[in-house]
Amino acid sequence: MFSIPVNDEVASRVGNLAIFIKRADDGRYVYWNRSSEQLFRIPASSVIGRTDAELFPPDMVAAINKENRNLFIGRNEVQNRIISDKNLNGRILHMIIVPVFDSRNTPQYVLGISEDVSHQQIDLRIDLHFSITRDDILDNLSVIINHLERALLKNTHYEMQQFFDKTIGSIESIRNQIAYMRTLQELGVVSPGWQSVGQAFDDAVRLLPEGAAEIQSDVSTIEIYADPLLPRVFYTLLENSLRNSTVENHAITLSTREDNDTLLIIYTDNGYSIPKEEKEKIFDVGNRSGTIRGLFLIRELLGFTGITLRETGKPGGGILFEIQVPSGKFRLSE
């Protein structure tokens, strides 16, 4: 029975997230990391190759089957919930369950990411936060599944380990995104406030895999009055840049300039361009026509405090996003 090997580097970078993977066809587990062993108190040796029915009590299996019944109907269906069950001995889990498809859109795996949040104050108002990160998580999973498919063709532990090691960046990115959502949830930050543009951009860059592109910012000490998810706004722009870049010397910059009584935050990227007829369509709700995603949500987030977002780059000349901050909504930090 195939199982995915893991080394100490992977374990240390994933942290305390319990991660498991099972096949979509027969429900047999192929991966169960050390944090899963600790969280569910079952060793990997007793899990790999077995199904939920062979591992958990009947009532728990019934609940799992019910929630997963429609998991693969929609490609973007991701379950995100808080769990408190008698089989968990009073513990509370934050769990994300994701369907994983191959390149032919055939269901292959179910990926689970869990964290024990029993000691934390749970705020269930995370739907908007998770909507923004949903596509990001799915894109990272596509990288993981690609390497898992290749690993299946290998015969030795060493060859399989090489492919799994390549997923570290994607797993770490998922961990960073979940950690960011958890931080906002714990703080209960839901109201707009004054935020450093430079700090928000740096926080977004830290969510990316290291060395993804040459990224520079020159925003001095500007603060703007914006939604607390401002770092997610920049992350969405950055993630789209990485997904769509077609150049070797990929460069991204962030700068500011005042225009009359407004502030322009200018995001440039030489990696790709948007045709003139598509410049507004990329902001449409539910836009899935191409590989540019999440822009409707971030424009909505900015709009809460009167900030606008548009793309004004010349066709073939790279990306230029203008974030326009109205008078009274920007200042120099003290």
Structural domains of the chain, ranges and CATH numbers in brackets:
8-187 (3.30.450.20), 193-332 (3.30.565.10)
Q: Which band of pLDDT confidence, cut at 50, 70 and 90, is reported for residue 81?
A: low
Quickly state the pLDDT bin for 167 (edges 50, 70, 90). Answer: low
Higher pLDDT, 307 or 290: 307
Global pTM value: 0.51
Q: Are 96 and 89 in contact (CB under 8 A)?
A: no
Is the model's pLDDT at 88 over the cut of 70? no
Q: Which of 60-74, 182-196, 242-256, 308-322 shows the lowest mean pLDDT across its residues?
A: 182-196
Least confident of 32-36, 147-151, 304-308: 147-151
Output the six-digit token pair for 76: 């973007």
Which range is most confident: 6-10, 71-75, 254-258, 313-317?
Answer: 254-258
Cα Rg, the chain, nearest whole Å: 21
CB atoms within 10 A of CB 18: 21
State how far the Cα of 262 lies from the Cα of 334, in Å rounded to an integer. 19
pLDDT at 293 over 50: yes
Order of all β-strands in the sheet with 193-196: 193-196, 222-226, 330-332
> What amino acid is encoded at 254 in this protein?
L
- Retrieve residue 258's tokens: 């005042």
**Residue 209 pLDDT greater than 90, yes or no:** no
**pLDDT at site 74:** 56
Mean pLDDT calculated for residue range 289-316: 82
Q: For residue 238, give the amino acid letter.
A: L
